[in-house]
Amino acid sequence: MGYDGIIGHTRQSRFNGVKIRGLQEPNAPSATEHHHLPRDGGADTQEPNMSSQQENKRSIWRALAAAGALWAVTGLGQAGAFELVSAAEAQQAALAEKTMPQPVRTRSLPKPDAPAIQVVTPNAPGTPVAAPLRIEVAFRPAQGAKIVPSSFRVLYGLLKIDLTDRLRPHATVTENGVIVEGAKVPDGQHRMFLQVADDKGNTAEQELRFRVGAAS
């Protein structure tokens, strides 16, 4: 049996008796590659190059994976987070709390025809919350009246800095209440005044106090 016959017989036995001409087994050198292989037992220079390329690819993937993990851990990749209160505004509000007279609190009963505002979260006085935070508020209109969502306003601190336009694109405001996700607020004590009105012109205001920071 000649050389070609031996090759054909070998390929037939490896492919269940089906002779497939021109099919080369994986990792087998091609006919043009045979004469490039070292004949004196020396090292082939192509194999180290392939290994080097594969290792470079692995290094790139490791770097990308590490960058993705850092992105997630530091919170840089948090989708939807936005700055509700800046550091400068927080400093101004803290100074106002020390220098401006505090508003007088009265314990008079709410007007029966006025809407009511209930803070759902954050609603744990004295317990620090983490930022970005979730703000959820519920509205309850008086009998025969409807809440006007467009009347909702958020004022910050005793200076009454208006945060409404900053918050509204990231909030869901309906007749039933407000839900805000991903509000970034600096560490420290904060006070907000929430306002809303109904279709009869009655208004309500609710104070919201909370502290942002690590749990003690």
Same domain for 121 and 163?
yes
Q: For residue 126, name the pLDDT band (cuts at 50, 70, 90).
A: confident
Q: Which residue has the higher pLDDT, 54 or 106?
A: 54
Q: Is 66 helix (H, G, I), strand (E, B) or coil?
A: helix
Same domain for 117 and 203?
yes
pLDDT in tens, 52-88: 677 766 766 575 555 444 434 344 435 579 999 999 9
Same domain for 72 and 86?
no
Same domain for 163 and 95?
yes
Q: Quick one: pLDDT at residue 28?
A: 46
Q: What is the DSSP letter of 103?
A: P
Q: Quick one: pLDDT at residue 60?
A: 66
C-alpha separations of 3 from 19, 135, 151, 180 in Å? 15, 82, 92, 79
Same domain for 35 and 86?
no
Q: Is residue 22 part of a domain?
A: no
pLDDT at residue 34 above 60?
no
Same domain for 156 and 64?
no
Same domain for 203 and 163?
yes
Measured CA to CA, the distance from residue 213 to residue 188 in angstroms comes to 6
Of 167, 147, 145, 146, the C-alpha closest to 156 is 167
- Average pLDDT of the residues of the chain: 76
Same domain for 47 and 137?
no
Q: Which domain holds residue 53?
A: 31-77
Same domain for 154 and 64?
no
Total number of domains constituting the chain? 2
Same domain for 140 and 202?
yes
Q: Is residue 9 part of a domain?
A: no
Kindly report the length of the chain: 216
Mean pLDDT of 147-157: 98
The alpha-helical segments, DSSP class H, found in 135-193 are 164-167
pLDDT at residue 12 above 80?
no
Q: Is residue 173 part of a domain?
A: yes
Same domain for 89 and 173?
yes
Q: Could you tell me the sign of the dihedral formed by the alpha carbons of 6, 8, 12, 14, in that order?
A: positive
Q: Quick one: pLDDT at residue 57?
A: 66
Instruction: Give DSSP secondary structure letters for 1-35.
Output: --HHHHHHHHHHHHTTT---TT---TTPPPHHHHT
Neighbouring-strand partners of residue 116: 140
